[in-house]
Structure 1
């Protein structure tokens, strides 16, 4: 099924023509409306008129997450605030959050992209779509929500958590499509089994899963346990939110909607573009965003592009599942966590030594986070009750900042390995 067959099957040559036209418009927009982009282009002796072909894209400067933080909150907006109808933001690390803005036109495009994604999962006006992604500043919940409404489906905007209530609503409301992280979907499946709910009492047909890395093995497990078709989606708030790419029934990569984004793969060290088939860092340039367009945004995600024809009939290039990241960010239950966030909390509290280690594991289908923190010699000999109080304080502060629960364990002095180079802050025992 396709939501917009003419655009999703547009011949490659016409896709390139459309991309060039929209790229030139986007470069013109940022050059005249965003001082930071204009300065970067002037440093390269570039003007919008120098962008005459898609090959000229590589002449443009990169954009990084640090650029977004430096421009906090609205410095990279290319539209006046009177035209911005929505803002979303990621959690900050030790610095500012990354803030993105949307015009009315941007929201319409976003809805269109998510309508395409949901249609692949079988969405129609007869569908009941239960959205268990988080709502709020996170783009997941509202991104799926507006796409579901554009399709004409009935939306159940329950957000995350409250698992037994989720399952009751699935039964009572006749949910046909579930949208959430894959790990939460597996947890729901386990709970359904524990509650001994017969599968025939559920009308689930498909799931739209993203916001964290997951394997083909997890897809098979989800489809077996829930008896559904599981669709993989990819997006990031800096580029749009969910709806940047999605896989199809062929399952040989996620189609990137190239009428709205130009993807590149670069060598993360040399920053040189790499050909299709070569793994490297995924880079996106937005083509239709008015409020917050991005030029060559470095995602830090490692992937591979495939421009060979797909059996589904879609002509847009495909990307592989994300193979890893070039930085030290980890994703736990769909939430981005940086070691520097942990360090910031520990230093601000001043209750322990600044030596810590994050241990990530998967118990059943749920990610777990343990934060091991060294204490001083003096504190190590303190009363157990006092140590437990410190653990609870740190745990509370971390959950408040990260939005994800963790277990804090105080460990004896000098027990965390030291390094003369880059400190090892994360041990990830999950098998992704």
Structure 2
């Protein structure tokens, strides 16, 4: 565990810290949070490029951006303090996967404006790991590097992990122990396929560039039952996608995040469009942070078939139950 003094903080102390940071950052009391308006992604696009920036641009040391596939890219900026918090969160995620000082971490997420590669890169360095910054692409070389350099932790999208596995020529040479996979929806069936192909423990990591990047939450190797939200940096809610009303623990709804420590681009009640549930039940690892379930879908990709809500993840789960079927499909 990277920062046990925070990650194992008793719930009353954690909630007191959240109250203080929410009040300091936004001038809002915790009890009044449900009364506050939501932020949505279109507001960030409309404010392109720096309309929502809360510090002078000169105080920002890094800029990232979304792909902009639906219009203008969403620009996100980071102060030096923001980057330090991000590195801490990613270091926690890697430590939860079993990494530590000297662990060889192979990062096959894209680098550049995409937040995936650099976020985990600096998190791994913060933890004292040895980083292989492979980035994406050139899959045969990725497999060779895994065999030759003895990586113990693999970081990439779940689908790319399977693509790499197809190019591993000498699996007995692999020293992989765990994989930290995210940036796309995936199911338990895909987890089992990856673990079978690469002989590692596959763990989920969650994040989004508007809120920070990867490391907003991450699974632990001990529990493997939900991703621990870094609640000292993010206050998480689950709301009904239609009414916006808060939902009780265990019910699936839309994830909403408030950033408690972000300086450059703080967001209060940001609607992610991602659907998941929350639990604050104790975890085997000893962390006290709330855990979010795997994202089961998005508010904009739910299908209604004969009056029944159906998510692509449910279709994937059914397809992966068919022996010898590749985990690639298209809904038409």
With structure 1 as the length reference, what TM-score do the two structures score? Answer: 0.70
Within 1, Cα distance between the matches of 2:329 and 2:244? 35
Within 2, Cα distance between the matches of 1:63 and 1:315? 27
* Partner of residue 230, structure 1: 202
Match of 1:239 among 191, 201, 211: 211
* Partner of residue 188, structure 2: 216
Please tell me whether the aligned partners of residues 187 and 366 of structure 1 are also in contact (alpha carbons under 8 angstroms).
no
* Partner of residue 270, structure 1: 243
1:138 aligned to 2:114? yes
Please tell me whether the aligned partners of residues 235 and 259 of structure 2 are also in contact (alpha carbons under 8 angstroms).
yes
Match of 2:288 among 307, 312, 315: 315
Match of 2:124 among 132, 138, 148: 148
* Partner of residue 20, structure 1: 19
Deviation at 1:100, TM superposition (A): 0.5
Find the residue that maps to 1:88 and give its secondary structure.
strand
* Partner of residue 411, structure 1: none
Listed as ranges, the gaps of 5+ residues in structure 1 are 28-47, 330-360, 370-426
Greater C-alpha Rg: 1
Deviation at 1:123, TM superposition (A): 1.0
Find the residue that maps to 1:3 and give its secondary structure.
coil
Please tell me whether the aligned partners of residues 106 and 291 of structure 1 are also in contact (alpha carbons under 8 angstroms).
yes
Find the residue that maps to 1:114 and give its secondary structure.
helix
Deviation at 1:311, TM superposition (A): 2.1
Within 1, Cα distance between the matches of 2:6 and 2:34? 25
* Partner of residue 70, structure 1: 46
Matches within 5 A, 1:90-101: 90-101=66-77
1:207 aligned to 2:206? no
1:187 aligned to 2:163? yes
List structure 1 segments (4+ residues) > 4 angstroms apart after TM superposition.
361-369
Within 2, Cα distance between the matches of 1:136 and 1:319? 28
Listed as ranges, the gaps of 5+ residues in structure 2 are 303-318
Find the residue that maps to 1:191 and give its secondary structure.
coil
Within 2, Cα distance between the matches of 1:364 and 1:290? 47
Match of 2:31 among 33, 36, 55: 55
1:79-108 deviation digits (Å, cap 9, x = unpaired): 111110001111224531111000000000
Alignment CA distance shift 1:172-1:314 (3 Å): same
Deviation at 1:142, TM superposition (A): 0.4
Within 2, Cα distance between the matches of 1:71 and 1:301? 22
* Partner of residue 175, structure 1: 151
Within 1, Cα distance between the matches of 2:136 and 2:276? 28
Alignment CA distance shift 1:272-1:144 (3 Å): same
Within 2, Cα distance between the matches of 1:16 and 1:133? 33
Alignment root-mean-square deviation, CA: 1.9
Match of 1:128 among 85, 104, 110: 104
Deviation at 1:328, TM superposition (A): 4.1
Find the residue that maps to 1:284 and give its secondary structure.
strand
Alignment CA distance shift 1:67-1:238 (3 Å): same
Alignment CA distance shift 1:366-1:267 (3 Å): same
1:79 aligned to 2:55? yes
Within 2, Cα distance between the matches of 1:364 and 1:209? 21
Deviation at 1:3, TM superposition (A): 0.6
Matches within 5 A, 1:276-291: 276-291=249-264
Please tell me whether the aligned partners of residues 184 and 366 of structure 1 are also in contact (alpha carbons under 8 angstroms).
no
Greater relative contact order, per chain length (Cα 8 Å cut-off, separation 6+): 2
Within 1, Cα distance between the matches of 2:158 and 2:326? 9
Deviation at 1:26, TM superposition (A): 1.4
Within 2, Cα distance between the matches of 1:328 and 1:26? 33
1:291-342 deviation digits (Å, cap 9, x = unpaired): 111110000111111112222211111111111111149xxxxxxxxxxxxx
